[in-house]
Amino acid sequence: KPSPAAAPDRLPFSRITDEDLSFFRKILPGRAITDPDLLESSNVDWLKSVRGFSEVLLRPQTTEEVSQILKYCNSRNLAVNPQGGNTGLVGGSVPVYDEIILSTALMNNILSFDSISGILTCQAGCVLENLSLYLEERDYIMPLDLGAKGSCHIGGNVATNAGGLRLLRYGNLHGTVLGLEVVLADGRVLDCLATLRKDNTGYDLKQLFIGSEGTLGVITAVSILCPHKPKSVNVVFLGCETFEQLLKTFQLCRGMLGEILSAYEFLDSECMKLLNTHLKLPNPISGRHCPFYVVIETSGSDAAHDGEKLHNFLEEAMMSSLVADGTVATEDSKIKTLWSMRERVTEALTHDGFTYKYDISLPVERIYQLVTDMREHLGDRAKSVVGYGHVGDGNLHLNITSPAKDPTLLAAIEPFIYEWTARCHGSISAEHGLGLKKRNYIYYSKSSQAVALMGDIKAMLDPKGILNPYKTLPDNLK
């Protein structure tokens, strides 16, 4: 019996012809790529776990070009895979069969920035890190930050509703995105590119596209509300003996750091082992090996005030034995070093073997129980079972490795993990989306009525189903 994650049969889309290629070459001179070597990296995902067989990569520069492409593809019944930085982790960013890849890589202009309101408007293909650098020169920051910042595009971030390391402080993109421009499947341009904090005129259509993973439209421009750059940033790396202590430390720091707390992230000792072994990153609290590590960030406007608060918090955490050991960073290079212990776990895992990834939302007090239960359940069938993630948001990243792809191991993990999550009323995809890999598990987190309504919305916006087929929605949806 094939795994429910396996791709369904190819749907009856047209196959690309020489005439189609001539059309694309005419509207995108030099930007309709068919060289197989150049196509290779766009056909394979970041994890190198799924591969498509597209023969064409289109690189539009303008919204008008995206509109022409989609109008043509819709009329010809050609399937299209929107692609940003191709850092997605659920197999949504690459084609399954021969879908045309529509890349936003050349749509990388900043359109405007208002230094009073902090509202940035840009094309969808701007790389997140470039936007951060642009804003930092102007005393602002992006409201989101993730380990993939050097490659991911803001359009891809919006399409996946990416969470990341600052969500605890600034909320998710449903709150910070103020406007979107989207090209619909038939080429119509939907201009919802508002730059207003408040706008209750009718339905908030842009919300539909945030987290829609390229299945409802191609996002071509984004306006987003950016916070002021904090004047004072501190990062603390702590070790805890138990997960319970880690949670108590979270409560304590919420109380004592209050408005300056900007991140509360964790990794377990198995992650630390992988960072040491595969990336040669030493434990920042070298003498002390702990079962759990926490990265806490504060961001504020007054170094003396923040320093005092942090000092009082650390004293209390140490005195009450919640924390075994720790180190503090105030200067940039050490801050980066401490953050890399959390940000580079994903990279370390790629050196450990084939990785099965799970991105689960749970009531925060349950999140590590799942890791413990999974370890017990798998015994020595897995190479590593690691837990890390965004404690402050109740979001666990549970990753399991094996020397090679292992269907028997997969059968032991799934549906065990999904059933466990559903019993706790959690979500089987907290922030990565469903893509190709998780689409058929949607019912563990959403009711059949909700999924049916999603199908109706898809049918209304993309009646021929050309946009990112085989992704997000389950196969059995008609």
Closest CA to 16 of 77, 105, 96, 67: 77
Cα(362)–Cα(367) distance, integer angstroms:
6
Nearer to ligand 2HG, 215 or 399 (CB): 399
346 binds ligand 2HG (CB under 6 A): yes
Q: Give the residue, chosen from 56, 124, 135, 466, that forms a contact with ligand FAD under the rule CB under 6 A.
A: 124
Overall size of the chain counted in residues: 478
Tell me if 42 contacts ligand FAD by CB under 6 A.
no
Q: According to DSSP H, which parts of 387-442 are helical?
A: 407-413, 416-423
Report in angstroms how near the CB of residue 57 gets to ligand FAD at its nearest: 12
Number of shown-chain residues binding ligand 2HG (CB under 6 A): 8
93 contacts ligand FAD (rule: CB under 6 A): yes
Q: Which listed option, ligand FAD, ligand 2HG, none, makes contact with residue 397 (CB within 5 to 8 Å by class)?
A: ligand 2HG
Return d(Cα 122, Cα 138) in angstroms, integer. Answer: 16
> What is the DSSP code (8-state) at residue 126?
-
Q: Quick check: 283 and 269 in contact, CB under 8 A?
A: no
Binding mask 284-303 vs ligand FAD (x if CB under 6 A, - otherwise)?
--------------------
Told to check if 83 binds ligand FAD by CB under 6 A, we report yes
161 touches ligand 2HG (CB under 6 A):
no
How far apart, in whole angstroms, are the C-alpha atoms of residue 237 and residue 327?
5
Which of 156/323 has CB closer to ligand FAD?
156
Cβ-contact 177, 158 below 8 angstroms: yes
Candidates 20, 24, 70, 92: give the one binding ligand FAD (CB under 6 A): 92
- Coil, strand or helix at 169: helix
Site for ligand 2HG, residues 135 to 154, rule: CB under 6 A: 147
* Residue closer to ligand FAD, measured from CB, 46 or 237: 46
Question: Token pair for residue 30?
Answer: 């030099």
Q: Is 150 helix (H, G, I), strand (E, B) or coil?
A: coil
Least distance from ligand 2HG to the Cβ atom of residue 388, Å: 7
Tell me the closest approach of the beta carbon of residue 384 to ligand 2HG, in angstroms: 13
Between CA 139 and CA 438 the distance in angstroms is: 39
357 binds, among ligand FAD, ligand 2HG, none (CB under 5 to 8 A by kind): ligand 2HG
Give the contact letters, 327-356, x = binds to ligand FAD (CB under 6 A), - = no.
Answer: -------------------x----------
Q: How many residues bind ligand FAD (CB under 6 A)?
A: 37
Q: Helix (H, G, I), strand (E, B), or coil: what is residue 400? A: strand
Residue 213 contacts ligand FAD per CB under 6 A: yes
- Distance linking the first and last C-alpha atoms of the chain: 22
CA torsion, points 250, 256, 260, 266, in degrees to nearest 10? -20
Cross-strand partners of 232: 300
Residues numbered 387 to 406 that lie near ligand 2HG (CB under 6 A) are: 389, 397, 399
Select the residue interacting with ligand FAD from 52, 155, 239, 326 (CB under 6 A).
155
Between 80 and 235, whose beta carbon lies closer to ligand 2HG?
235
Show Cβ contacts of residue 302 under 8 Å, excluding neighbours closer than 6 positions: 231, 232
104 binds ligand FAD (CB under 6 A): yes
**Cross-strand bridge partners of residue 400:** 356, 385
Residue nearest to ligand FAD (CB): 156
Query: Measured between alpha carbons, how far is 99 from 52 in angstroms, rounded to an integer?
Result: 8
Q: Under the rule (CB under 6 A), what is the footprint of ligand 2HG?
A: 89, 147, 346, 357, 359, 389, 397, 399
